[in-house]
Structure 1
């Protein structure tokens, strides 16, 4: 019988930082894929959704600020912004102090799309959480701020 010596004791693998990193990477990637499947039914890519949500969180941003925030090259963000603007989800306005710039803001249609997107994903996740034990939910409540901290590093 073939065995995988690296995977003989999953709990032991979680004791090292490398093992924990690997387990978190796999689990978070799976969870992200499952959440993406709950999409509203629109034709936006994850990058386009992330950009739209970033502008909503910051109220207004320049395309350059958005590219920097999302860690993509400005030409790539230009295409994302154009796509979102064509669909009526983002609006461009003159920059208040720099005539060479524009600011981006989320339109009511964009805000509605994001609201529905979040509602669907949170409903799916709430249903999954309902299947967990009280102890498992308590662990996740303690872990949530730590995961947020990791996402900001």
Structure 2
């Protein structure tokens, strides 16, 4: 029987491999994982400032500014001056960015659905329970 430390290692490696395979499924393959993470943050959290995005992604403001500049150049986001504090700039997902995120979500769901169909009903039930547990671990 594996120790808790060994189980931790196995779980970490399995989740990293799955996450890598999922990240590879995206509607615009030219985007980096960091760029798509910003689009995802804007999709889930709505309009944010550069500082908010940098804090969320745990990167420096200059690094986030480069990422946001690239996303703006590719036409996926827009920057607007904050109506209350003109020193701040709000970053928003535009229609093209929204379409890209939705297409990527759909592609990732389809990829995973195809893989799950190959499993038995019992194995899918185990994974459903594991998803609940992993989700709980991720929020601690």
TM band (smaller chain): over 0.9
Residue 128 in 1 paired to residue 115 in 2? yes
Q: Is the 8 A contact 2:82 2:90 kept in 1?
A: yes
Q: How far apart in 2 are the matches of 1:138 and 1:52?
A: 31
1:70 aligns with 2:54: no
Q: CA RMSD in A?
A: 1.3
Partner of 2:23: 36
Equivalent position of 2:97 in the other structure: 110
* TM-score of the pair, normalised by structure 2: 0.93
Q: Give the equivalent residue in structure 2 for 1:57.
A: 44
- Cα-to-partner distance string for 1:85-122 (whole Å, 9 max, x where unaligned): 11110111111321110111101000111111111111
Which stretch of the first structure deviates more once superposed, 48-57 or 136-145?
Answer: 136-145
Q: Which has the higher contact order (CA 8 A, sep 6+)?
A: 2
How far has the Cα of 1:131 moved from its partner?
0.8
Shift of 1:128: 0.4
The answer for unaligned runs of 5 or more in structure 1 is: 1-11
Give the Å deviation of 1:133: 1.1
Number of residues of Structure 1 aligned to a counterpart in Structure 2: 140
Structure index of larger Rg: 1
The 1-side partners of 2:85 and 2:5 are apart by 47
Deviation at 1:141, TM superposition (A): 1.2
- Where in structure 1 do 4 or more consecutive aligned residues deviate above 3 Å? none
Q: Is residue 57 of structure 2 the alignment partner of residue 81 of structure 1?
A: no
